[in-house]
Every structure is written in C-alpha cells, then in structure tokens.
Amino acid sequence: MRKVKIFKCQGNSLLLWWKVRNPLRIACNFVLIYAARFLPSLALKNFFYRLCGAKIGKNVAFGLGATLDIFFPELIEVEDGAIVGYNTVILTHEFLQGSFRIGKVKIGKGAMVGANCTILPGVQIGEGASISAMSLVNKDVPPKQVWGGVPAKCIR
C-alpha cells in the first residue's frame, strides 16, 4: 500500500509549487541533481545526491540520466548495492488537480531498477527485487521478485 500524504487545494496544484517548498531550496536541489545526471563518476553522483538529503547507501550505482525528485530528495532512500538504471525517474511528489501528494521512496539492498523506469511516491522496492526497463512502479514490490510493465506487475 502506498504511504502518501495528500494535501487538498483549489484547482491546479502545480501553480502553487512555490508554496510547497522554498524556491531557493528547489533551485539548489535542481543544480545538484541535474549536474549529477551527467557526471561519469558514480561516487560524485552519490555525493551530490547526499548533499540534497537523499539517503544513498554504499556501492549504489545510478545510470546516466537518472533523476531524483527535486522537491523532496530527502524522502528517497537507496540501500547498499542497488542499481538505478539509465534515465530512470524517482518521484516523491505528485501535483494533481485539487491536491498534491508526497511520499517516501525506498529501494532495497541489492535491488535493480532497469532503464527508463518511473517510480511514484510512497513506493518501496524490496531487497533483491528487479524492475524491468520501461516500467511504471506505482505500488510496493516484494523482495526478490521480478516486476515489469505499465503499471508494473509481478512477472516472475
């Protein structure tokens, strides 16, 4: 079950983004996260993500173009030995009509997320789980299972 906080508002919540988070904080996060997307050094990427508040374990590898949420990167935890594939997006917020949601994302120890995936707020990916490329992860993935698709489902 997704563990998200829902905040109600009138109309298009994206128009109120500046009330959700300090614009200066978002600007700093943006610079660090978008610089990290294209750095060849995995250690430097992890350092930049940690500066933004993300909890990144040891021996974690982010592929080229992987993007963390710029609004709430401190709600992201990637445990030891996990791999996040090329161009994957990890979101901890969703702006919607009439509301917005925030939720923690946790990627377990030794998990693998394939290329071009999107992980939505409130999702936990279990230890040793695998997510196939081009998947939309909108619910929790149990440990050691293989999931894929849009939306992601257990495939093995």
Q: pLDDT tens for residues 80-115?
A: 999 999 999 999 999 888 888 999 999 999 999 999
7 phi and psi, to 5 degrees? -115, 125
Q: What is the CATH number of the domain that holds 46?
A: 2.160.10.10
Q: Please name the residue ranges forming H helices in 17-141.
A: 17-20, 23-37, 42-51
Confidence of residue 137 (pLDDT cuts 50, 70, 90): very high
Q: What's the total number of domains in the chain? A: 1
**Listed residue (81, 45, 76, 75) closest to 62, CA to CA:** 45
Rounded mean pLDDT of 23-44? 95
Give the whole-number percent of the chain exceeding pLDDT 70. 99
The boundaries of the domain holding residue 91 are 4-154
Residue type for position 40: P
**Around Cβ 1, how many Cβ atoms within 10 Å?**
7
Q: Are strands 89-90 and 4-12 parallel, antiparallel or unpaired?
A: unpaired
Rounded mean pLDDT of 65-74? 96
